[in-house]
Chain A
């Protein structure tokens, strides 16, 4: 095994999976380095959950080479399970059990579990620790899922749309948690529909469309974003004006000279990750 593969937590080549006649994953490649935070983006039905659940050993691939922590997820052992944390896309319902009961209990499954009360605190459920799971709000149930995903102190953590239903503050708190885990060396594969989340957390993002990986790059580089044209907008004498340019500084300097000082309503913007992503997806769909 060469040095490159040795450093990979996840290595997938030519992954395929069909449900009847629906091809969900169509020759997908993916490589996630150890210690990396990797975000999967893609429209509804793109094949993200299918891919992730194959890597988790929940679904069977029809074809392709898959290594997750040097193991084929079709034949996983409890020892492998102990190294992998999972937060599924659908929220779990633990009904009559309390938050503390569920988290403490799941901790007994792992050889090296984290302190359950600390985990409850990290996901912001301390006040709800004795509340029954069925009585939690949607976002709180989701936090319980996250707690169960990290209780075993995984080397590799899968998060399928983890922040669905989180309020803005909870989302920020969750981001901090992910950054802490990443800083401690945890490899994280997450899917999300929030581009700001991908940008805030991920070392690299991968865009899936129609079951294929159409782009992989650091958030700042996706779709050649770094070199994308900037848009300069200002208020002209006869209404709003704009100009797309590779040299926004020169354009602003020229405008400043023309207006003899302040340029009314001046803004300079570059495409957001969302702009880049949307144009990428619409191009994919057109093909």
Chain B
């Protein structure tokens, strides 16, 4: 038991846990908060499932090469799930936390600032895995998607997913500085994600899009995430139906890696803990 009187003696004794330990416990707290916020849960987990079910019921076409449209689409939705948990989530959540004085309270403490970001990353990683598993289970059960049958493909799944999530997370954190208020954040974020989904090979088969649209999409991470995931879940022969007649995994790695670096630099340059005074 500590009492008021023993303050000065106790002062020197204490030691603060490191950034990683605090960051991990922040991650646990972030997850608790996430799971308790019904709106976040619905948006990141239920909404993609609903879209997949609706599209799966409505469209029966083929994406070519013996791949059904639904199989093509559901790989895109897995990538979109990563975009939602990383980019959309953080770009919406952080301005709200800034608005509500949570960030200001955190920087007023000796908490290592990196612990805040570690906590966010932990939350995003866990939610990404959950979202991916749910969508995969659905796709395997209902749409005949086959799980990867080689170690190489599993490895591709891991690195594409990880690089994609990291890029999306960093970009979400960077983007969160654009919204001046928490209320403005959703309307600034959702259209960006939606447009990317339309042009990056989620809702439409990428090769069926006009060339200029493909070129715009190729600048952003989502297109490369969907392509990388198609290499994991679609038959090898389907590579012929891609724009370059191959999965271009090297290029996937380079573009996603570049976005990670760019996202990190943007975060470091632009992140605001409080509104400008």
Chain A interface residues (CB < 8 Å from chain B): 19, 53, 56, 58-60, 78-79, 81-82, 84, 86, 88, 90-97, 101, 105-106, 108-115, 118, 132, 148, 152-153, 180-181, 183-185
When distances are taken between beta carbons in the complex, the residues of chain B under 8 Å from A115 are: 1-2
B267 at the interface (CB under 8 A from A): no
Given A60-B277, A88-B104, check contact A108 B17 (CB 8 Å): yes
When distances are taken between beta carbons in the complex, the residues of chain A under 8 Å from B110 are: 78-79, 81-82, 109-111, 152
Instruction: Name A113's closest neighbour in chain B (CB-CB).
Output: B14
When distances are taken between beta carbons in the complex, the residues of chain A under 8 Å from B14 are: 110-113
Question: Measured between alpha carbons, how far is A91 from B101 in the docked complex, in Å?
Answer: 7
The residues in B between 96 and 131 inclusive whose CB is less than 8 angstroms from any CB of A are 100-102, 104-105, 107-112
Chain B interface residues (CB < 8 Å from chain A): 1-2, 4-5, 7-8, 10-11, 13-17, 22, 25-26, 29, 32-33, 36-37, 100-102, 104-105, 107-112, 274, 277
When distances are taken between beta carbons in the complex, the residues of chain A under 8 Å from B112 are: 78
Majority SS of interface residues in chain A? loop
Q: Once the chains bind, are A82 and B101 in contact (CB under 8 Å)?
A: no
When distances are taken between beta carbons in the complex, the residues of chain A under 8 Å from B277 are: 19, 53, 58-60
Instruction: Name A24's closest neighbour in chain B (CB-CB).
Output: B277
Report which residue of A60, A79, A184 has the largest number of chain B beta carbons within 10 angstroms of its beta carbon. A184
Minimum CB–CB distance for A38 against chain B, Å: 19
Q: Once the chains bind, are A109 and B101 in contact (CB under 8 Å)?
A: no
Minimum CB–CB distance for B116 against chain A, Å: 11
Q: Once the chains bind, are A97 and B33 in contact (CB under 8 Å)?
A: yes
When distances are taken between beta carbons in the complex, the residues of chain A under 8 Å from B37 are: 95-96
Question: Measured between alpha carbons, how far is A61 from B60 in the docked complex, in Å?
Answer: 64
When distances are taken between beta carbons in the complex, the residues of chain A under 8 Å from B111 are: 78, 109
Question: Measured between alpha carbons, how far is A96 from B36 in the docked complex, in Å?
Answer: 6
When distances are taken between beta carbons in the complex, the residues of chain B under 8 Å from A109 are: 16, 22, 109-111
Can you spell out 11 A-B residue pairs with CB atoms less than 8 angstroms apart? Answer: A53-B277, A58-B277, A78-B111, A78-B112, A96-B37, A112-B10, A113-B14, A132-B36, A148-B105, A153-B10, A185-B7
Q: Which 3 A-B pairs have the closest CB atoms?
A: A112-B14, A111-B14, A93-B100
When distances are taken between beta carbons in the complex, the residues of chain B under 8 Å from A82 are: 16, 110
A19-B277, A92-B104, A93-B102 known; 5 new pairs, CB 8 Å cut-off, are A58-B108, A88-B104, A92-B102, A132-B36, A185-B8
Q: Once the chains bind, are B11 and A184 in contact (CB under 8 Å)?
A: no
